[in-house]
């Protein structure tokens, strides 16, 4: 079972509260541009934090298959025989290395970041390959 790290969810919620506080401050100051920037930021970051709290487990595996988060808070069960490929996409840009876990079922491509998994996508892919065989 791979889940979002708790610290990340807390930081998102705190960020949303800061943005909401800035929106209130700018509203009281009469700065419309600040409010227009801060309110959508608070809603977006708050929604992301809420999703992390409501659905912390993004990927789990058992003997029958895997379960992935689908949409905002839905779940999709995928049997092992429906999984066509599990790979890690590694990219280097501006001296930074990023990894994304890709699970291909033929009709859907499920992509997970290290932040969503709370672990390295390379380690998760290896664990899925071992369990799926």
> How do beta strands 2-3 and 57-61 pair?
antiparallel
The full set of domains in the chain, from first to last, is 2-54 (no CATH), 57-132 (2.30.29)
pTM: 0.81
How far is residue 13 from each of residues 17, 64, 114, 129, measured CA to CA in Å? 6, 35, 19, 34
Give the DSSP letter of residue 28.
H
Give CA torsion, residues 20, 21, 27, 29, to 10 deg. -160
- Euclidean distance between CA atoms 104 and 80, whole angstroms: 11
- Euclidean distance between CA atoms 91 and 99, whole angstroms: 7
Residues 40-61 pLDDT 10s: 999 999 999 999 999 999 999 9
Please state the length of the chain: 133
Residues 69-106 pLDDT 10s: 988 888 999 999 999 999 999 999 999 999 999 999 98
């Amino acid at each position: 079972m791979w889940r979002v790290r708790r610290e990340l969810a807390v930081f998102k919620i705190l960020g949303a509260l800061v943005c909401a506080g800035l929106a209130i401050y700018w509203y009281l100051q009469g700065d419309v541009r600040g409010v227009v920037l801060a309110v959508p930021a608070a809603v977006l970051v708050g929604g992301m934090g809420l999703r992390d709290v409501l659905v912390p487990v993004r990927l789990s595996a058992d003997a029958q298959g895997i379960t992935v988060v689908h949409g905002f808070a839905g779940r999709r069960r995928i049997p092992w025989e429906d999984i066509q490929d599990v790979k890690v996409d590694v990219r280097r840009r501006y001296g930074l290395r990023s990894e994304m876990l890709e699970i291909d079922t033929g009709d859907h491509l499920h992509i997970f970041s290290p932040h969503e998994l709370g672990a390295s996508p390379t380690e998760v892919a290896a664990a899925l390959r071992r369990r799926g065989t």
